[in-house]
């Protein structure tokens, strides 16, 4: 070991008692994480840093595979305030997912609603809409997206929002679990700016 080197490790354990299963992890950067499954339809996760002024995280989910309610919070003990407080409600059916979420943090608050619908499972045609409203800036953002499978190994995705930004992505699985992706984004309200183009290669054994 050299001075200022970083050594990472963690210790995990699992406790079971009747319907309650708890996973606990302690790592070398002074974090303690725990995840508890209290019931088939209830889950709780929390973490805390073992420091003088730790940040406490808590999240929980209640519901079924059709309707679920979740909450996600972070409390900074140094400033004595919540830095994150999110709540969401989701509805899932055979061919659609609808979500409504409320996000509150130190920069302001916003409400988010999204809709995801599978139009044609055979060709993986999907459409989605997301609407976000910021109460602090009174700005609405509407994003519409879609995807389509050109063949079993190639998928194209596209999205655009009311701010004038549009993007397209083409992804090809050239080898099992290995993907090649080409993406591009353009700001239609700033034609003088060059579009952004990206390439990505993901390799998995």
Tell if the pTM clears 0.95, that is, is over it. Answer: no
β-bridge partners, 99 = 90, 114
In a domain, 44, yes or no: yes
- Between CA 181 and CA 157 the distance in angstroms is 11
In a domain, 25, yes or no: yes
Name the domain count of the chain: 2
Verify that 191 and 122 share a domain, yes or no: yes
Of 39-53, 81-95, 143-157, 164-178, minimum mean pLDDT range: 39-53
β-bridge partners, 57 = 47, 74
Tens-place pLDDT, residues 91-122: 988 888 888 887 776 555 788 899 999 998 88
In this predicted structure, what is the pLDDT of residue 27?
74
Domain around 202: 114-135+143-205
Verify that 45 and 85 share a domain, yes or no: yes
Q: Is the dihedral of CA 76, 80, 83, 87 positive or negative?
A: positive
pLDDT band with cut points at 50, 70 and 90 for residue 154: very high
pLDDT band with cut points at 50, 70 and 90 for residue 177: confident
Per DSSP (E only), the strands in the chain are: 10-17, 20-27, 31-39, 42-49, 55-63, 67-76, 81-92, 96-105, 108-120, 125-134, 139-151, 154-161, 165-175, 178-187, 196-202
Residues of the chain with pLDDT > 70: what percent?
90
Q: What would the mean pLDDT of 186-191 be, rounded to a whole number?
A: 87
In this predicted structure, what is the pLDDT of residue 29?
65
Verify that 127 and 173 share a domain, yes or no: yes
In a domain, 106, yes or no: no
Q: What would the mean pLDDT of 47-52 be, rounded to a whole number?
A: 77
Q: Which residue has the higher pLDDT, 49 or 42?
A: 42
Verify that 40 and 88 share a domain, yes or no: yes
Verify that 184 and 118 share a domain, yes or no: yes
Verify that 78 and 123 share a domain, yes or no: no
In a domain, 23, yes or no: yes
In a domain, 104, yes or no: no
């Amino acid at each position: 070991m050299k001075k200022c080197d970083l050594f990472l490790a963690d210790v995990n354990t699992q406790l079971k008692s009747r319907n309650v299963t708890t996973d606990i992890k302690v790592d070398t950067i002074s974090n303690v994480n725990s995840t508890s499954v209290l019931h088939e339809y209830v889950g709780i996760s929390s973490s805390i840093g073992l420091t003088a002024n730790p940040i406490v995280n808590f999240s929980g989910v209640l519901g079924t595979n059709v309707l679920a309610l979740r909450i996600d919070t972070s409390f900074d003990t140094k400033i004595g305030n919540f830095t994150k407080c999110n709540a969401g409600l989701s509805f899932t059916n055979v061919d659609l997912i609808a979500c409504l979420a409320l996000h509150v943090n130190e920069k302001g608050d916003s409400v988010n609603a999204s809709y995801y619908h599978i139009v044609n499972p055979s060709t993986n045609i999907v459409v989605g809409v997301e609407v976000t409203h910021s109460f602090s800036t009174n700005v609405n953002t509407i994003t519409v997206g879609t995807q389509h499978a050109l063949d079993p190994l190639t998928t194209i995705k596209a999205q655009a929002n009311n701010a004038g930004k549009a993007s397209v992505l083409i992804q090809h699985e050239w080898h099992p679990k290995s993907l090649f992706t080409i993406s591009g984004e353009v700001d239609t309200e700033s034609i003088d700016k060059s579009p952004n183009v990206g390439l990505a290669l993901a390799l998995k054994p």
